[in-house]
């Protein structure tokens, strides 16, 4: 199961973000919400928390954000609107 999930994650295309975009990041579901929020806020500007405690939405501020999120532990980084998260930067 873990190998299948890892293969699925690795095969996802890198999202293309533009100005005014927001990013949804899925962190490991076994992490506490406190740990998820700490990792997310160190990476960028937090806009919202998803329906699951391991999902956060951040303002897309620069091209390095997805890499920072992955380095901080995010499993998947997607365009927030594409997955139904409608928080947008003000």
In this structure, what CATH number is given to the domain that contains residue 53?
3.30.70
pLDDT-based confidence at residue 21 (cuts at 50, 70, 90): confident
* Cα–Cα distance list, 78 to 13, 19, 34, 57, 75 (Å): 9, 15, 21, 10, 10
Q: Which helix (H) or strand (E) holds 48?
A: strand 46-49
The helix/strand/coil state of 42 is helix
- Structural domains in the chain (count): 1
The answer, yes or no, to whether residue 1 has pLDDT greater than 90, is: no
Lowest-pLDDT range of 6-15, 39-48, 49-58: 6-15
Q: Is residue 31 part of a domain?
A: yes
pLDDT-based confidence at residue 27 (cuts at 50, 70, 90): very high
Q: Is residue 89 part of a domain?
A: no
The answer, yes or no, to whether residue 3 has pLDDT greater than 80, is: no
Domain housing 68: 2-83
Q: Is residue 90 part of a domain?
A: no
Q: Is residue 13 part of a domain?
A: yes
């Amino acid at each position: 199961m873990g190998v299948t999930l890892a293969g699925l994650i690795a095969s996802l295309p890198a999202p293309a973000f533009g100005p005014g975009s927001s990013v949804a990041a899925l962190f490991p579901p076994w992490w506490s919400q406190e740990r998820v929020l700490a990792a997310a806020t160190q990476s960028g500007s937090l806009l919202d928390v998803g329906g699951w405690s391991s999902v956060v939405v951040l303002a897309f501020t620069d091209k390095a954000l997805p890499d920072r999120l992955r380095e901080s532990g995010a499993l998947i980084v997607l365009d927030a609107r594409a997955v139904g998260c409608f928080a947008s930067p003000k």
